[in-house]
Structure 1
Amino acid sequence: MTATPLKLSVLDLVPVRTEQSTADALAASIELAVRADELGYERYWVAEHHNMPAVAATNPPVLIGILAARTSRIRVGSGGVMLPNHSPLVIAEQFAALEAAFPGRIDLGIGRAPGSDPVITALLRSSGATSDVDEFPNNVQDIRMLLNPDGATLRIGGREQAAQGHAAQTYVVRATPQAAGAPPVWLLGSSDYSARLAASLGLPYVFAHHFSGEGTAQALELYRSGFTASEELAAPRTFLTVNAVVADTAEEAKALALPQLQQMARLRSGLPLGPQITVEDAAAASADLSPALQGQIDRMLERWVVDAPEPAVDRIRSLAAQFGVDEVMVSPGAGASAGDDPRTAPGRVRTLELLAGTLQP
């Protein structure tokens, strides 16, 4: 009996570790994307976060252009663009340009969260070139229409102007440069809100299982049961996201996962953050962790895939079956050792290689 075909994809936050500059972190992510392309991964998405010393993924459209130019077949997209931080027209223009440059390889994943703290959110929105979070559904629809080669109709002027003798005018607005096609728009979320909205709009949807690990089944059921077919999508379409660290042995995988696990525990506990520490420093710090931080790490380990290749793939297959998906997007969270080339991420690359190699029939 042959196993059900399973597609693998990658989510990248462009992590920055000690002994790395932002340029080094970007070089390491380029290497990771190139390897994912060679290994046959389905898509490679980059996130949007701001003012985080350990994350260099601040501008998805720019990163997508860089990564798409260095790869040949893999789909490259946003996981996701945080729409309230941006003007819908600007996002539509950026992704139309990317689609024109890399036809058939671009995904536009859209989220509703700010991707930062309140102070940075205020800074991002101080220019006025952003969108109201309460207008999120309308702004998603605007982007869909602007990306359509036929454009969106915009009516300038209304009854008041007409009464004063100025006729209302109708314009067709298109994202430019106009691409031959439009990148698919995905809705991303970690709550029921995005699941319901994606279902009502007939859009593909991804729940942030890698971040929360809870509520996934409920969100996917809401999405699937409430789905209304659209011109772009006839049936529900989704995949699963999961954090993964894979090495030759389970012990090595856990050691490589500790820097990111400790970082996430600090983030969720509201503690100060810095660049991701080395594997050696994380091992040394383990003895001094508070019970609260250790509890956070233990709970994350229950949800992450941290193991040797065969049990890791078995776990991913089991999760895919549990949630009824044929694609899993892994966020490779392996740390690095002291002395590793700062322009590389050997543990993250090795995770992708071991998963792809073990999945081969």
Structure 2
Amino acid sequence: MKLSVLDLVPVRSDQTSGDALAATVELAQAADAAGFERYWVAEHHNMPAVAATSPPVLIAHLGAHTERIRLGSGGVMLPNHAPLAVAEQFALLEAAHPGRIDLGIGRAPGSDPVTSWALRGAAGRDDSDIEKFPQYLDDVMALMGPDGVRVPVPRQQYILKATPAASGRPVMWLLGSSMYSAHLAAAKGLPYVFAHHFSGQGTAEALATYRSEFRPSDYASEPRTFLTVNAAVAATEEEAAALMLPNLITMARLRTGKPLIPLQLVEEARAMELSEVEQSVVDAGLARAVMGTPEQAAVQTRDLAERFEVDEVMIHPVASAHEGTDPRSSPARVETLRLLAAALT
């Protein structure tokens, strides 16, 4: 079974954005050394606990600090961007790191409505463009290819390319947490990833639909899929749960509409008094995560792979840190990857 990593570049209460980026470089290098298949960074905006605002910038940074691991977006939120801009960014990344780049694309905005409006600009696209998402996908794929796209203009066929001399293109993946994405990925013949770490519901149905409806394409001859899962691995089950609690509290605040804050340290999270609704979110998150000792986590990861019939699991290491931890490091996240990889070999 292959293991991969999803990273939102969390910003703890003891970190600056620069600290969080330094910790992410350390984590990517640990994943590279431990043999993980790919390392994806997400796109979120205007969130105090998330520094992953620009996947292509982060991927370029990580590419300069890693050796062999595939790097990609999990994902680029296409409604926020012009298809040509996305195609140019990832064609350039593929030219710089040939054979190592994945382009994961999502349909959600990754932000609140005000931030989405600011990203697109007052004269930019609006929510009606969500309906054009399938066409935007086609545009991105074609623009990254060596032939580009023919744009009809008066008295000529104008050729538009994302890069002047493409020798390859990134592997494109469609991301989703709903049935819409499963149907679309199957219809387009694209590899597909379900965000099990985010919702934990509908995973089996979405993957089964994708496999049953899949149409072979130039991008994939057969269904290709995996899923994501939150994880915290430590020497004891109690320590793993404590390290995971700050992330779950962040999710509880998000789900209950409370103001978001930087990711808490373990001691800060333990001191929180949660409402009944917040506690239910925390309990549900613990139940669907990979969490515990290396042996427990290995069993849980294998069970996930078997239950959903995937040969790759993408780990989202959500462990926070204790007071006194070097702000430019994330030792519990690094240990989650190292311990799980070792237990599964």
> Would you call these one fold, judging by a TM-score over 0.5?
yes
Q: What amino acid is aligned across from residue 320 of structure 1 in structure 2?
A: A
Q: What amino acid is aligned across from residue 243 of structure 2 in structure 1?
A: L
Q: Could you tell me how far apart the structure 2 residues matched to 1:178 and 1:329 are? A: 32
Q: Alignment partner for residue 216 of structure 1, among 199, 203, 206?
A: 203
Q: Could you tell me how far apart the structure 2 residues matched to 1:72 and 1:129 are? A: 38
Q: Could you tell me how far apart the structure 1 residues matched to 2:14 and 2:164 are? A: 40
Q: Could you tell me how far apart the structure 2 residues matched to 1:340 and 1:179 are? A: 44
Q: What amino acid is aligned across from residue 135 of structure 2 in structure 1?
A: N
Contact (CA 8 Å) 1:46, 1:80: kept in 2 or not?
Answer: yes
1:18 equivalenced with 2:6 (yes/no):
no
C-alpha deviation, 1:69, in angstroms: 1.2
Aligned partner of 1:330 in structure 2 is: 315
Q: Could you tell me how far apart the structure 2 residues matched to 1:47 and 1:109 are? A: 9
C-alpha deviation, 1:177, in angstroms: 4.7
Q: Could you tell me how far apart the structure 2 residues matched to 1:340 and 1:177 are? A: 47
Bigger drift between 176-185 and 209-218 goes to 176-185
Contact (CA 8 Å) 1:9, 1:330: kept in 2 or not?
Answer: yes
Q: Could you tell me how far apart the structure 2 residues matched to 1:325 and 1:9 are? A: 13
State the Cα deviation string for residues 282-301 of structure 1 (Å, max 9, x = none).
Answer: 1122xx21111111111111
1:348 equivalenced with 2:333 (yes/no):
yes
Aligned partner of 2:180 in structure 1 is: 193
Q: Could you tell me how far apart the structure 2 residues matched to 1:263 and 1:334 are? A: 12
Q: State, as a whole percentage, how many aligned pairs show the same letter.
A: 61
C-alpha deviation, 1:179, in angstroms: 2.9
Tell me, what secondary structure is at the counterpart of 1:186? strand
Aligned partner of 1:162 in structure 2 is: none
In 2 relative to 1, CA 100–127 (structure 1 residues): closer, same or farther, beyond 3 Å?
A: farther
> Where in structure 2 are the equivalents of 1:1-361 lying within 5 Å?
6-126=1-121, 128=123, 132-157=129-154, 168-285=155-272, 288-360=273-345
Q: Write out the 4+ residue segments of structure 1 that deviate beyond 4 Å after TM superposition.
A: 127-131
Bigger drift between 172-181 and 222-231 goes to 172-181
Q: Could you tell me how far apart the structure 2 residues matched to 1:41 and 1:15 are? A: 20
Contact (CA 8 Å) 1:93, 1:177: kept in 2 or not?
Answer: no
Tell me, what secondary structure is at the counterpart of 1:344? coil
In 2 relative to 1, CA 143–331 (structure 1 residues): closer, same or farther, beyond 3 Å?
A: same
Q: Could you tell me how far apart the structure 1 residues matched to 2:46 and 2:88 are? A: 25
C-alpha deviation, 1:311, in angstroms: 1.1
Q: Could you tell me how far apart the structure 2 residues matched to 1:139 and 1:263 are? A: 32
In 2 relative to 1, CA 341–177 (structure 1 residues): closer, same or farther, beyond 3 Å?
A: farther
RMSD (Å), alpha carbons: 1.1
Contact (CA 8 Å) 1:96, 1:178: kept in 2 or not?
Answer: no
Contact (CA 8 Å) 1:96, 1:177: kept in 2 or not?
Answer: no
C-alpha deviation, 1:246, in angstroms: 0.4
Tell me, what secondary structure is at the counterpart of 1:311? helix
Tell me, what secondary structure is at the counterpart of 1:224? helix
Tell me, what secondary structure is at the counterpart of 2:197? helix
Tell me, what secondary structure is at the counterpart of 1:270? coil
Tell me, what secondary structure is at the counterpart of 2:104? strand
Q: What amino acid is aligned across from residue 184 of structure 1 in structure 2?
A: V
C-alpha deviation, 1:178, in angstroms: 3.2
Equivalent residue pairs, number? 343
C-alpha deviation, 1:231, in angstroms: 1.3
Q: What amino acid is aligned across from residue 203 of structure 1 in structure 2?
A: L
Q: Could you tell me how far apart the structure 2 residues matched to 1:96 and 1:130 are? A: 23
C-alpha deviation, 1:33, in angstroms: 0.3
Gaps of 5+ in 1: 1-5, 158-167
Gaps of 5+ in 2: none
Tell me, what secondary structure is at the counterpart of 1:320? helix
Q: What amino acid is aligned across from residue 33 of structure 2 in structure 1?
A: E
Tell me, what secondary structure is at the counterpart of 2:167? coil
C-alpha deviation, 1:130, in angstroms: 5.2
